[in-house]
């Protein structure tokens, strides 16, 4: 199989993925197909000018496309992990200060808690849970390598929602601990 034949098959699979998920945007498909082809060459120790590739089954194409798309989709969700951590921290701070009889929401302590905590939570919890999601994508793609697009997407989606719930709980609990210790 030549690199051009593999590129054509990957493009078909990427378009099928896009039709089934609505992601990625059309202009991104070619870039992701190129990334998948580069991954194949890297995995097989081939140079950029090596044109002859060993044959690929349809299952190999599905697996390669799913891994590439899920990795790219996970990378695209980086900002959302920080966004969730920030808003959970802010809303937790407002709740803690407004429900406390000894503290006021309109105090320097509340301002410091919310502003400093926003940045710290986005950096710490956003990065931590985004890293956990990337790890989960790798584990899912390596443990059960022969899956369909919908199975990959479903497994990664479930893990993503569980991690989001975990991030909300952990961020709230840490915010509560910081409030009780330092406010």
Read off the pLDDT band of 124 (50, 70, 90).
very high
Please choose, from the candidates 161, 168, 77, the residue with its C-alpha nearest in 3D space to the C-alpha of residue 121.
168
- For residue 134 the two structure tokens come to 């990337």
Read off the pLDDT band of 169 (50, 70, 90).
very high
| pLDDT surpasses 90 at 176 | yes
Are 89 and 121 in contact by the 8 Å Cβ rule? The answer is: yes
* pLDDT for residue 87: 95
Average pLDDT, the chain: 78
* pLDDT for residue 173: 96
Question: Which CA distances in Å does 110 have to 114, 146, 172?
Answer: 6, 51, 16
- With tokens 């966004």, the residue in question is 83
Per-residue pLDDT tens over the stretch 73-105: 666 677 788 899 999 999 999 999 999 888 888
Per-residue pLDDT tens over the stretch 133-157: 888 877 877 776 556 666 777 777 7
* pLDDT for residue 62: 66
For residues 155 and 136, what is the distance between their CA atoms, to the nearest angstrom?
9
- For residue 18 the two structure tokens come to 């896009």
Please choose, from the candidates 29, 154, 17, 179, the residue with its C-alpha nearest in 3D space to the C-alpha of residue 103.
179
Spans of all domains in the chain: 3-57, 78-182
* pLDDT for residue 21: 59
Report the 10 Å Cβ neighbour count for 52. Answer: 8
If DSSP states are collapsed to H, E and C, what string results for the chain?
CEHHHHHHHHHHHHHHHHHHHCCCCHHHHHHHHHHHHHHHHHHCCCCCCCCECCCCCHHHHHHHHHHHHHHHHHHHCHHHHHHHHHHHHHHHHHHHHHHCCCCCCCCHHHHHHHHHHHHHHHHHHHHHHHHHHHHHHHHHHHHCCCCCHHHHHHHHHHHHHHHHHHHHHHHHHHHHHHHHHHC
pTM across the whole model: 0.68
């Amino acid at each position: 199989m030549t690199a051009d034949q593999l590129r054509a098959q990957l493009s078909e699979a990427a378009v099928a993925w896009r039709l089934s998920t609505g992601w990625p945007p059309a202009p991104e498909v070619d870039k992701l197909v190129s990334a998948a082809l580069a991954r194949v060459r890297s995995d097989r120790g081939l140079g950029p000018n090596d044109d002859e590739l060993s044959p690929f089954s349809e299952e190999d194409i599905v697996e390669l496309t799913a891994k590439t798309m899920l990795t790219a989709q996970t990378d695209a969700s980086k900002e959302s992990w920080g966004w969730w951590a920030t808003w959970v921290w802010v809303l937790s701070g407002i709740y803690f200060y407004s429900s406390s009889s000894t503290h006021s929401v309109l105090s320097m302590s509340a301002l410091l808690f919310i502003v400093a905590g926003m940045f710290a939570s986005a950096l710490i919890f956003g990065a931590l849970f985004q890293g956990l999601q990337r790890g989960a994508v790798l584990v899912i793609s390596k443990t059960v390598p022969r899956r369909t697009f919908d199975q990959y997407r479903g497994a990664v989606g479930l893990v993503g929602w569980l991690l989001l719930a975990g991030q909300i709980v952990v961020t709230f609990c840490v915010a509560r601990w910081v409030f009780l210790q330092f406010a």
